[in-house]
Amino acid sequence: MREIALVYLDRSGGLQKFVHDCKKYNDSKQSYAVYRFIISINPSDIAELDATLGNYILHKPIQAAQIFQSVCFIAIKTLSLIEQLQTEAQISILLKPTHLPPLLSYVLSLSTFPFNYTSQRFYMSEGIAIAMGTVTKYTQGARFLCTEETCPFSEGRFRYIRVHLPGATESATVRNDFVCSLCFSPLQEDMKFRVLGDKQIVEMIDAKVLNALKGYSSDKSHFRIQTFTVFLR
C-alpha cells in the first residue's frame, strides 16, 4: 500500500506540494519536534488504484495516515528534504478527503437513533453554527527528555515524541506523568520544541431545528433538539 500511496501522490500533484512544504521547513531557522503535513486525497481515485488502500482511508484514516507517514519519511530521507529530521515519529500526517461517498452510512446525524459512531472514520455532518468561541492554541506535538542525567535518553534525541491525534484530549499529548521506558525515570518536556496550532470550538445544532422555528407541525407530540460541540483544529 505504501507503493500505491506514492504513485497517487505523484499523479495527483501531492508529491510536488509535499516537497514544497518540506522546503519551507528546511529553510526555517526554527527547530521542530513535529513536522505537520496536510495531504488532500480523492478517495475515489485511490480506490481505483487500490481498493484496499481506498477502504483504509475511508474507514481507518488513522492507520492510513501511518502509511503516508512512512512514505513521506522515506521521501524526506532519500531526497534529503529536511536535514533536521531524525525519526519517522516526528512526521504528522493529516489526510484531508476532497469528498466522501454519497451514502447514508457516511452522514453523521445526531437526531437518528441508535447512535453507532464508535469507529474513528470520516463522517459528513451538516448543521447550523449558533455560537463560536475564540481561537486559542493547542499542542500539536512535543518532545520529552528523561530527567535522569545518566540515561541515554536525557540528551537531545527525538526518542519521546507526543503528537496530537484526532479525538484525543490535550492531556494525551502533554502531561507530567510520562516515564522513560529505559530507566523508568520521569520525563520532562523540552519546551523549545513544542509545536502549537490553532483551535476553535463551535456550537452547532441540527438543521432540522429550522422546521420547528417555522412552526412546522409534526405527528410526534414531543421532540427535542440538542446542540453538539465541534472542535476545529
Please name each of the domains of the chain with its CATH number.
1-103 (3.30.1640), 139-194 (no CATH)
Sorted by sequence, the CB contacts under 8 Å of residue 83 that are 6+ apart come out as 26
Quickly count helices (H) and strands (E) in the chain: 6, 8
Which of 27-31, 53-57, 115-119, 124-128 shows the lowest mean pLDDT across its residues?
Answer: 115-119
Contact 56, 5 (CB under 8 A): no
Residue-level pLDDT at 133: 95
Q: Which amino acid is at 120?
A: Q
Per-residue confidence (pLDDT) for residue 178, from 0 to 100: 94
Distance CA 53, CA 151 (A): 41
Element (H, E) at 26: helix 14-27
Q: What confidence tier does 222 reach under pLDDT thresholds 50, 70, 90?
A: low
Residue 205 CA to residue 92 CA, distance in Å, equals: 31
Q: What is the CA radius of gyration of the chain?
A: 21
Q: How far apart are the first and last CA of the chain?
A: 28
What pLDDT score does 117 carry?
A: 61
Q: 225 or 200: whose pLDDT is higher?
A: 200
- 17-31, 102-116, 117-131, 177-191: least confident range: 102-116
Burial 103-127 (b: 16+ CB within 10 A, else e): eeeeeebbeeeeeeeeeebbeeeeb
CA dist 142 and 70 (Å) reads: 20
The percentage of residues in the chain with a pLDDT greater than 70, rounded to a whole number, is 92
Angle at 232 (CA atoms; ends 190, 15), nearest 5 degrees: 75
pTM, entire model:
0.84
Better pLDDT: 36 or 105: 36
Reported confidence tier of residue 109, pLDDT bands at 50, 70, 90: confident
Average of pLDDT values for 201-229? 75
State the pLDDT at residue 225.
Answer: 77
- Burial code (b: 16+ CB inside 10 Å, e: under 16) for 35-49 equals bbbebebbbeebbee
- For range 104-130, the mean pLDDT: 78
Query: Is pLDDT above 70 for 180?
Result: yes
Distance (Å, rounded) from C-alpha 3 to C-alpha 50? 10
pLDDT at 14: 92
Q: Taking Cα atoms as reference points, which of 86, 148, 125, 87 lies closest to residue 230?
A: 125
User: Is the per-residue pLDDT at 177 higher than 80?
Assistant: yes
pLDDT at position 200: 96
Q: Each residue of 147-174: pLDDT tens digit?
A: 999 999 998 778 899 999 888 888 888 9
Q: What is the DSSP letter of 105?
A: G
Taking 90 as the threshold, does the pLDDT of residue 210 lie above it?
A: no
pLDDT in tens, 114-125: 566 667 888 888
Q: Residue 221 above 60 pLDDT?
A: no
Closest CA to 35 of 94, 109, 103: 94
